[in-house]
Structure 1
Amino acid sequence: MKQNAMKNTFFVFGCVSFFIAGCSPKVTTEVVKSYPVTRAYDVRLFEAKDTLPPAAEVLGRASVEKGTESDAETMVKVETAKVGGNAFAVKEKSSSFMGRSYRMDGYMLRFPGTRLEVDQALDGLAANRFWTDSDHETAKDEKKDGTSTLYLNAGGGFITSELRTPGGTAVWGHPRRGTEMQAGWDWVGRKGLGGGLFFSAYHSRAYGLASPPEVADERFHMNFFYIGPEFVVRTFFSDYWSAKAALGLGAFFSREKVRDNSRLDYGLDGWGGHFQLGLEYRLAEHVGVGLNGGYILGWFPGKDFAREFFPDDGLGELGKSGKRKELDGYFHFFVTGGLRFYF
């Protein structure tokens, strides 16, 4: 009985050791040159059957054996990043006995330029997977023609145009300074040119309208909304930093009101324009942060703003700001920051 128990123990121990050995990674590298460490997700994988691209600098060789094909690909990226490379040329890839692990051999390379330029140098072969079966059939990914960015911003807005109030009377607080919320999407091609859609909402408030008496000491709310398409130019300084400039025309909406007073709740709509400059930093493959600054203009052509907003119904005299019948509107600049999502 004891002998059988010992045999069973050794058998179980042998099986466990067998599978542990199969799951543990085996890594062999031969480094001939190295650079400052890069990031693993920036490393591009491609199949090189015969010769390596002439633009690539060979940093060494690597052989990795790990549990799954995806694990092996991740490991060669990590090893390549350790020596400052940004591409790995796969020379051989196979499954081990009983499919317990995958083995990948190839060259650790460094291409000059940004990640986008590396993709261009590889002519669309930069992808994480190239094989669909054990025969190593190549399944090339479609070349990406550009990058889409979704951005969400928050910050401050500052009115630079003439401020209008009932009767042109004084208010207290900071109506010229408010909160700016923005959202947008843009797409740029390989040459850095593209387009997008931009939305912005501004809100500010003040207190203590001097007249009419019925609205004295009430809150005065100002809300502006702008939405419009934009032409975008984006420049990549490195794999992480990029700058953006955008210019566009769209629709502008204004709504101003005194709280709990329906007679002083009025909106005007017109057309507008905007431009913005931004600086972005890519934190990960699909996520980044950015800082934006710009200007938004809103016009109400042919509108006598104060006379439409505050008709002569006993609410007080009109100030000078309400007596123009030519082009009229609101203008403000903004400074915002927020998240970027890349696709």
Structure 2
Amino acid sequence: MPAHRFITRRTLVQRSLAGVAGLWLATHFPQAQANTAVRFILPLSAGSGVDAIARSASQALSEALGGKAVVVDNQPGAGGVIGTQGIVRAAPDGATLGFVSNNHVIFPSVVKNLSFDPVADITPISIVCTSPLLLVARADFPANNLQELQALLKKSPDTYNFGSSGNGTILHLAAEQFLQLTGTQSTHVPYRGTGPLVADMIGGQVDWGVIALPAIRGQLEAGRLKVLASCTPEPIASFPNIPTAIQQGYPDYVVEGWVAVVGPKGLSQDTVDQMYTALKHAYQQPSVMEAMDKQGNTVTLHPPAYTREYIASERQKYDVLAKNAGLTPQ
């Protein structure tokens, strides 16, 4: 008899649970039964860290929305401004949302005549996840921890440089935060993206910098870069031996990459609540959790109210950092 005719008790239970879950989702997401898709604009190119985060959960999110199609729409350009304009200018009907990162709140500090307000012109839905940021250095750098780095920079402020993925990016301002906290100086070398920065740090042209874990995980495991500290509030589960800045005596040096789902201004509370519930369902699926862990991300799923306050506080934080770093909108 063909194998496919046999149905185990476990299979029956799984199918029953799936049916219950599907009924629950259909009941809680009546709008999801429409034929229209939900489009998520990403103000970044395909292959970026945020792109991987969005696509990891797209199928699970579609299922959570009762089968409604989920479309990931990459709209890079102008450092992310173009794609963000698409989010804030969309109709507030829940059909167009977006994934944004720390750079979203940095725009006013680096972009002149910005056509939108990153706080007032969006509807926050959830901080989906965080990406650990690490303060790293070339493999033969003479410092092995933050205290030694601070001592080197104080002794020879014009000797060492640090790189970033570009002026005013989260990686730039995260490094500037360390310099401002320690009263030290280091020459900034901006790059057009993380890839060239990592390559030159491995090659010895760049001394140190702050980089997100997902971008350098393989380089760390291969010993091509040296980690001086994590900038996270707690040790990283997958790298427990990396000391945090807090553990090294720098309690105020905490900065993480984050990714949030937002919509245009004016989304109804029902739409916000429904999408937040769908995101929770999607990002708590084992396959999605596994994918996020492999990327080095931590699923957070903070609720809408928290997300609104957090994004506003991040806007203020990076505004101060940018001004202290001497950045002016260009």
TM range (shorter): under 0.3
Higher helix residue share? 2
For the pair shown, which has the larger CA radius of gyration, 1 or 2?
A: 1
Q: Which has the higher strand share?
A: 1
Q: Relative contact order (C-alpha < 8 Å, sep 6+): which is higher?
A: 2
Give the TM-score normalised by structure 1: 0.23
